[in-house]
Amino acid sequence: MSQQLISRNQDLKLLRDEGYQIELYGGYLIAHHIPYVNKFKEVKSGKLVCSLSMSGDTCIKPDNHVIQFAGEFPCDNNGVEISGIKHQNLNQSIGNSIILNHSFSNKPQQGYSNYYEKIKRYAEIISSPAKAIDSNVTEKPFIPIKSSNDNDVFKYFDTNSSRANISMVNSKIQGQKIAIIGLGGTGSYILDLISKSMVAEINLYDGDKLFNHNAFRFPGAASIDDLKKAPMKVEYLYNRYSTMRFGLHAHPYYIIQSNLDELLSMDFIFLSLDNNEVRSLIVNFLIDHNKKFIDVGLGVNLVEDQMIGSLRVTSFDGENSEHIDCRIPKVDDLENEYKSNIQIVELNCLNATLAVIKWKKMSGFYQDLVNESNSTYSFNNSLLLNEDVYET
């Protein structure tokens, strides 16, 4: 994908054709083999790195003039720092064994109109002293670089992560195989959120079809033509989200006793079911096999023409399960108004969001100072309770 994108964008193609050793990696543009002089007047080689701004597969004007650098601070041929470009000292990994050490600032009056201008200008400033010392060095070595496959879960570059400088944090969930069991309102929003992450696989399990009432609890907007076809939920969602990423697998059937073993190959499982007996069956199986999971629950009651209730997120870390019996229901609550078609899409979305945040905490993406195994949010009094904390 990297080489194709370079060929489609004139500024990137011009850099490559002139001999710059460029690479597209995780939403970053990297120019390798940039010669510079360090404080000991030694000629070294570093990397220029900047986040990409893109519209689809087309580069647009860079959103800022700052650029990052992997290497020592560049100096003139006398070993004196080139102070005119100094911006910040860094110590930040972006993955692929690249550590950003510094950022530079050199802003033309109108900014940089494209990435060719930006890379070329910084490369000239940094490499000129090195070429004055050794006329054989060049920032244009005409050395091809093998494209990275780290971004291959997506069908286009994740420039959001590179703009926010969180690509390395994102890598903590890279490669995970996820299962979502139950693709109703909450499960569909779980899919929506984790589809934007670097997990390797997302397996969708549900044996139900998509009807009108589901459309009002799903992300996005299903068309009437979609609903007339009454597609399986997982197949509808697969078609929607496979436009963005690879690694989606639709399983248009329920998880039952006979196919529980399919979950053994998963790294993490989300449970968003409305059948508590099946939920209990799956939960017991996952605990027996030390498989990490999160179970979500939503209870709503209508009282005097207003709804009250709470959301629940219960997690199992593969070790501590003492809280499970008292948190996850085993039988259906006949008083739960959620069984009807009350439209509560915002509660589905919030329940999914809390679950995904907890999963990312368990994966090391977010800091977790509490390490709770159960949390509930009561929406009539805006009370969030964290419970069942195990010693770590």
Interval 111-170: pLDDT, tens: 899 999 999 999 999 999 999 999 999 999 988 765 555 457 888 877 777 667 777 788
Between these two residues, 163 and 268, which has the higher pLDDT value? 268
133 and 257 inside one domain:
no
User: What is the C-alpha to C-alpha distance for residues 218 and 188, in angstroms, rounded to an integer?
Assistant: 6
Mark whether 329 and 296 lie in a shared domain: yes
**Using an 8 Å Cβ cutoff, are 5 and 24 in contact?**
yes
Q: What is the DSSP string of 65-104?
A: SEEEEESSPPB-TTS-B-GGGEEEEEEEEEETTEEEEEEE
Name the residue range of residue 274's domain. 175-389
Residue 314 sits in the same domain as residue 250: yes
Provide DSSP, 289-310: TT--EEEEEEEEEEETTEEEEE
Q: Express each pLDDT in 202-256 by its tens digit.
A: 999 999 999 998 999 999 999 999 999 999 999 999 999 999 999 999 999 999 9
% residues pLDDT > 70 (the chain): 94
Q: Do 151 and 195 sit in the same domain of this protein?
A: no
Domain stops at, among 167, 202, 219: 167
Using CA atoms, how far apart are residues 348 and 21, in angstroms rounded to an integer? 47
* Band (343; pLDDT cuts 50, 70, 90): low
Q: Are residues 150 and 181 in the same domain?
A: no
More confidently predicted of 180 and 4: 180
Residue 171's pLDDT band (cuts 50, 70, 90): confident
Closest of 307, 381, 306, 310 to residue 351, by C-alpha? 310
CATH number of the domain that residue 365 is part of: 3.40.50.720
Report CA-CA distances (Å) from 132 to 19, 41, 43, 124: 20, 11, 10, 12
Total tally of structural domains belonging to the chain: 2
Query: Tokens for 148?
Result: 């990275």
Residue ending a domain, among 134, 150, 167, is 167
Between CA 41 and CA 133 the distance in angstroms is: 9
* Range of 140-144, 256-260, 331-335 with top mean pLDDT: 256-260
| Residue 77 in tokens | 């041929």
- Say if residue 304's pLDDT is above 70: yes
CA 338 – CA 298 distance, rounded (Å): 7
Q: How far apart are CA 168 and CA 149, in angstroms?
A: 15
* The predicted structure's pLDDT at residue 27: 85
pLDDT band at 341 (very low <50, low <70, confident <90, very high): very low
- DSSP structure string for 230-285: --BHHHHHHHHHTTTBS-EEEE-S---GGGGGGGGG-SEEEE--S-HHHHHHHHHH
198 shares its domain with 90: no
One domain, residues 76 and 204? no
The predicted structure's pLDDT at residue 392? 67
Let me know whether 288 and 179 are in one domain.
yes
Q: What is the mean pLDDT of residues 317-346?
A: 77
pLDDT tens digits, 50-106: 999 988 888 999 989 999 999 999 999 999 999 999 999 999 988 888 999 999 999
**Whether residue 150 sits in one domain with residue 281:** no
pLDDT tens per residue, range 26-44: 889 999 999 999 999 999 9
CA dist 22 and 32 (Å) reads: 6
Measured CA to CA, the distance from residue 97 to residue 99 in angstroms comes to 7
Q: Does the pLDDT of residue 20 top 90, yes or no?
A: yes
- Contact present, 380 and 308 (Cβ < 8 Å): yes
Same domain, residue pair 149 and 249: no
Together in a domain, 216 and 122:
no
Say which DSSP state 209 is in. Answer: B
* For residues 373-392, average pLDDT: 92
- Decide: pTM greater than 0.85: no
**How do beta strands 201-205 and 177-181 pair?**
parallel
Among 128, 150, 167, residue at a domain's last position: 167
Which tokens in the block code for residue 233? 């939920």
**One domain for residues 198 and 282:** yes
Q: What is the pLDDT of residue 335?
A: 56
Q: Give CA–CA dist 125/298, Å, rounded.
A: 59
User: pLDDT tens digits, residue range 344-378?
Assistant: 899 999 999 999 999 999 999 999 999 999 999 99
Residue 261 token pair: 């073993």
Q: Is the per-residue pLDDT at 46 higher than 70? A: yes
